[in-house]
Amino acid sequence: MSEYQYYEFRAIDRLLSPTEQQELRALSSRADITAASFVNTYNWGDFKGNPDRLMARYFDLFLYLANWGSRRISIRIPKLALDVPHLKRFIGGGDDARVRIQDENVILDVARDDLETEGEGGEGWLNAIAPVRNDLLEGDLRPFYLIWLMSVESENIPDKTVEPLDGLGPLTPQLTAFAEFFCIDRDLVEAAAARPAVLHPEPQEQEITAAIKALGAKEKDAYLRRLYDGDPLVRADFRRRCRPAIPSENSAQPRRQAGELRRIATELAEARRKAEEERTQAEQQLAQRSEAKARKGRIEALRRRREAAWPDVEDLIAVRNNHAYDQVTVMLADLRELSLQQGTDDEFHRRLTDLRARHKAKRQLLSRLAANGLS
């Protein structure tokens, strides 16, 4: 298998200037570079740039995928949007994730190695995962819950550790993509998502209107100035101001422990395994009934044709290809069953022995006959 590495960077809050694009071009002559992205694929060699430095200077998102099982996501967010000390309870017990401060930003790095994947490419993954960044800006910390689940899965989190949020559900498409990209155990994710996270409800129209009216002239001027300057936090900041408080009764249910989540995930996996076995058995039984019905019809047709069936066998053998040999095998098996029903199995075996002797040079045919007990 040839080497494959996929790099994709994306700028969201500020587009790249022509000068910056030229600086990036010096790192790769083959990359697709625009004012909002840098994408390159390597089948030999390595990327000359340093993703950490590029994230610090140019980009807000970074995705890396290699076909030997390595995957990485980096997300840059203005640090005023996150309570960085508060995030420590999500990250611990492993080296899958780190949070670092870079000037006025927080950069979240998540990486996993030695994943067992199907070898798919990197295209499309960042489009699916990118909305996670906006979720974080809006105050939704469930992406960090998924990071915590990685440590639960790798057993770096003790059983009695309490989950960092009330729950993970309901799963959004971007959370699902994030979990699938990092191959987080599907049953563990399902167990965590069985309980909903306590999220701020979306404000009603009257609440938004009231929040706007409550702004003083200086505050309105400040928001407009930030909007003019292109401050990426304006929307998220004002939306937080408009949100109603979280109802206290939503947090009444005690949070689960890591050991409980592991137990639920094991139960879900076992239930899924049994359901799959039952589905497979049902499909096999249906196929067997269908084959028995079809065979009954074939044998009845042979009963009516009697001696005319054997020349048809010889005609199929003369075709000399695998498909014809498969048909010969089915017909001879049906003729054997018919001979058993009629008490003429001695005559059948005499004819079969003669047929095998006359076609002894046809190894593919004889192999198929032997595999089906026609020897």
What is the pTM assigned to this prediction?
Answer: 0.76
Q: What percent of the chain has pLDDT over 70?
A: 96
Strand partners, 112: 71
Q: Which residues contact 100 (CB under 8 A, 6 or more apart)?
A: 106, 107, 109
Residue 178 has pLDDT above 90, yes or no: yes
What whole-number distance in Å separates Cα of residue 266 and Cα of residue 257? 14
Tokens of 57: 């200077």
* 111 closest CA partner among 171, 190, 167, 183: 183
Q: Write down the pLDDT at residue 247.
A: 56
pLDDT tens sequence across 283-332: 999 999 999 999 999 898 888 887 888 999 999 999 999 999 999 999 99
* CB-based contact 211:243 (threshold 8 Å): no
Q: Write down the pLDDT at residue 81.
A: 80
Cα dihedral 340, 343, 348, 349 in deg (nearest 10): 80
Residue 132 has pLDDT above 70, yes or no: yes
pLDDT tens sequence across 8-67: 999 999 999 999 999 999 999 999 999 999 999 999 888 999 999 999 999 999 999 999
Residue 258 has pLDDT above 70, yes or no: yes
CA 33 vs. chain centroid, Å, equals 27
Q: Which residues contact 80 (CB under 8 A, 6 or more apart)?
A: 104, 233
Sorting pLDDT into bands at 50, 70 and 90, what band is 88?
confident
Mean pLDDT for all residues in the chain: 90
For residues 270-289, average pLDDT: 94
Measured in residues, the chain has a length of 375
Residue 250 has pLDDT above 70, yes or no: no
What whole-number distance in Å separates Cα of residue 13 and Cα of residue 35? 11
CB neighbours of residue 303 within 10 Å: 13
DSSP track, 278-334: HHHHHHHHHHHHHHHHHHHHHHHHHHHHGGGHHHHHHHHHHH-SHHHHHHHHHHHHH
pLDDT tens sequence across 42-58: 998 889 999 999 999 99
DSSP track, 190-212: HHHHTSB---PPPPPHHHHHHHH
For residues 332-344, average pLDDT: 92
What whole-number distance in Å separates Cα of residue 183 and Cα of residue 177? 10
Q: Write down the pLDDT at residue 253.
A: 79
Tokens of 275: 């359901």
